[in-house]
Amino acid sequence: MTGPLHHLKVIELGHVIAGPLSTALLSDFGADVIKVEAPNRTDMLRDLGPKAEDGVGVWWKTLGRNKKTLSLDWKSDEGRDILRRLVEGADVLVENFRPGVLERAGVGPETLHEWNPDLVILRISGYGQEGPMRDVPAFGRAAEAMSGLAHLTGFADGPPMHPGFPAADSTTGLMGAMGIMLALFARETGSARGQVIDLAVFEALFRLMDYPVPALTGANHSARRNGLRQPMDYAPGGMFRTSDGVWLTVSAGSAETAQRLLRAVGGDTLADDPRFATLDEMSRHMAVVFDAINDFVTQHTLAEVEAEFARHDAIASRVLSVEEITKNEQIRYRGDIVSVEGEQTQVIGPIPHLSATPGELRWLGRKPGADTRNILRDLGFEDERIAALCEAGHVSLAEE
């Protein structure tokens, strides 16, 4: 089955997570992605993190999925000519260098649009292409700090904390892919030709951290980190540990579900207490609610909590470890962890699930330059010319 983006041609000049994730998401649904790496300077993600049995970094395996790899020095005159040929036949170019890198190499957006006026260009940088922090270097953790996420994570009397995954880089990849699709839609409908998408790494996470801003500006409520409870505690819930040592997250998002939760942990006496008649009233006594839930959960086993919550149609979800994730029946049923033939490494599969044109994992991350020869042949280069380019160091081929 052909993916819905099988007609889309994407050039990736990105590295590490944010840019490569945006193109990996597109590749899951059929986009033809060419990842460009310098002959003697590959994406550092190949060497970061744990290695599989074949010695290849597992993070590279997943972010390099479904991509062709081209080893090209696009800053040289000859390499720039090859890049031009690629751009002329492409729909999208993705880069996540510091602002100015493309311009100094003579391939800024103006030049790229001279080559291909319809090209959509995604530019990811720490703080954006313009502004007083334009040239300040940044990584994902700096973005998490700027977004407010770190400030709202942790205990009130403890330090701010980062989440257990690269939240800023990952959300930037998601937002970048959405930005590309929006720009392509505008192109297809005639609203605009090739657009430049300027995305700062902190902005994608910042957009998902929207709630504290209107709370402060509209209601003068300043959110603070709150340990096992939510920073803005307007609905009952939190993280609790059963008597047999299992962590659960408990939540209720409406007055009705809150009443069922209270009835499960404290019976009619607690559920019918006038202090908890509405969520607004409940929010003023959330410490009492939290303590009641904590007392119940900590005094019962997982099986007992699950049985009582099920009886009242209340929600308590077990906190899964990575080991448990890989064995979870629902995750397995939905096919959300996948691999390819001959690979031990498993990765998260294409998401979301499309009914008629689902995504597909075709291969995991390839060797540097694995597709250089075929890509250059497709551009019209003869083997003798390819050999000469290799000899001069403008391109390189994968080691046999």
Q: What is the dihedral of CA 138, 141, 144, 150, to 10 degrees?
A: -140
Per-residue burial over 25-36, b = 16 or more CB atoms within 10 Å of its CB, e = otherwise: bbbbbbbbbbbb
174 within 8 A of 25, measured Cβ to Cβ:
yes
Helix, strand, coil shares, percent, the chain, to 5: 40, 15, 45
Beta-strand runs (E) in 138-290? 196-200, 237-241, 247-251
How far is the C-alpha of 78 from the C-alpha of 54, rounded, in Å? Answer: 34
Contacts 24+ apart (CB under 8 A), 76-79: 76/394, 78/389, 78/392, 78/394, 79/394, 79/395
Residues 368/340, Cβ–Cβ less than 8 Å: no
Residue 300 tokens read as 């019962």
Q: What is the C-alpha to C-alpha distance for residues 271 and 263, in angstroms, rounded to an integer?
A: 5
CB 224 within 8 A of CB 152: yes
Identify whether 169 is a catalytic site residue.
Answer: yes
Burial 101-133 (b: 16+ CB within 10 A, else e): bbeebebbbebbbebbeebbbbbbbbbbbeeee
What is the arrangement of strands in the sheet containing 395-396, beginning at the earlier edge strand? 196-200, 120-125, 92-95, 9-12, 32-37, 67-72, 395-396
Catalytic annotation, pick one of 91, 169, 233, 371: 169
Task: Provide the residue type at 341 as one letter.
Answer: E
Q: Which two tokens stand for residue 265?
A: 């942990």
Neighbouring C-beta atoms of residue 308, cutoff 10 Å = 17
Coil, helix or strand for 210? coil
Cα(8)–Cα(158) distance, integer angstroms: 48
Name the residues annotated as catalytic: 169
